[in-house]
Amino acid sequence: MSNVIFITGATSGFGRAAARRFAEAGWSLVLSGRREERLQALRDELAAKVPVHIATLDVRDAEAVQGMVDALPEAFRKVTVLLNNAGLALAPEPAQKVALQDWHTMIDTNVTGLVNVTHAVLPLLLETGKGTSIINIGSVAGEWPYPGGHVYGATKAFVKQFGFNLRCDLVSTGVRVTDIAPGMAETEFTLVRTKGNQAASDALYSTTTPLSAEDIAEQIFYVATLPAHININRLEIMPSRQAWSSFAVDRD
């Protein structure tokens, strides 16, 4: 039986690129996200290569997540990798200008959603144990502060620490846990963050060389296919043309 990867946020960006990368290697795919037509298109693209199960899912809805996992067909229940990828940033403006709802949406998706999916899928990983993985998509924003990072960065710090703490509890189960923390990568991320401002998204990624979704998918595949005795705790990846900046100092 082939390996199975369960991907949240497979309709775009890293999740979709990961689906393609794992399909190339013959893995069976469980693909979820809210945009059903995109899931169908991806299934149409990949089902000739590998078994594909799609499920429309909002990770914020704990009951729906559990129901979707409970309803997984037998051939997709032996999950080898959970890729907790669904997530978003909103509100690039300073904290004092942000609508509370945007903060809630980021927490509900990046924190509560990730916890919902982990809780529902973990029993399936434990059934196999050795060699299985939870791969969480964190961010450099979970480690390094920057203006406008406020709640987004804090949710990714949660992702990092949740993963480290999971490792402590799962150490004897064979289930590995990794925080993959990308820097700037060109996906629909900025389009979502700016609520549809294509020009802002294009401006951010032009005149530099961001990471691509495929770059991150390759790292996810690397982590997932390491020998079972190796656990990458955290993998932080930036484009070579991105680095940190100096401290801000308020002056008279």
Interaction site with ligand NAP (CB under 6 A): 8-9, 11-15, 33-35, 57-60, 85-89, 109, 113, 137, 139, 182, 184-185, 187-189, 192
Helices and strands (H and E) in the chain: how many? 9, 9
Q: Which residue minimizes CB distance to ligand NAP? A: 13
58-59-60-64 Cα dihedral, nearest 10 degrees:
70
Q: Which is nearer to ligand NAP, 144 or 174 (CB)?
A: 144
Q: Which is nearer to ligand NAP, 125 or 137 (CB)?
A: 137
Q: Which is nearer to ligand NAP, 32 or 80 (CB)?
A: 32
Contact 223, 233 (CB under 8 A): no
| Cβ at position 179, least distance to ligand NAP in Å | 11
| Cβ at position 207, least distance to ligand NAP in Å | 16
Contact 84, 116 (CB under 8 A): no
Q: Which is nearer to ligand NAP, 57 or 157 (CB)?
A: 57
Q: Is 146 a catalytic residue?
A: no
Cβ partners under 8 Å of residue 222, min gap 6: none
3-state secondary structure of 133: strand
| Cβ at position 203, least distance to ligand NAP in Å | 14
| Cβ at position 225, least distance to ligand NAP in Å | 20
Instruction: Enter the tokens of residue 238.
Output: 């930036």
**Can you spell out the DSSP letters for 10-63?**
TTSHHHHHHHHHHHHTT-EEEEEES-HHHHHHHHHHHTTTS-EEEEE--TT-HH
Is residue 234 within a helix (H) or strand (E), and if so which, with residue range?
strand 234-237
Among the options 146, 152, 205, 222, which is catalytic?
A: 152
Catalytic residues: 152
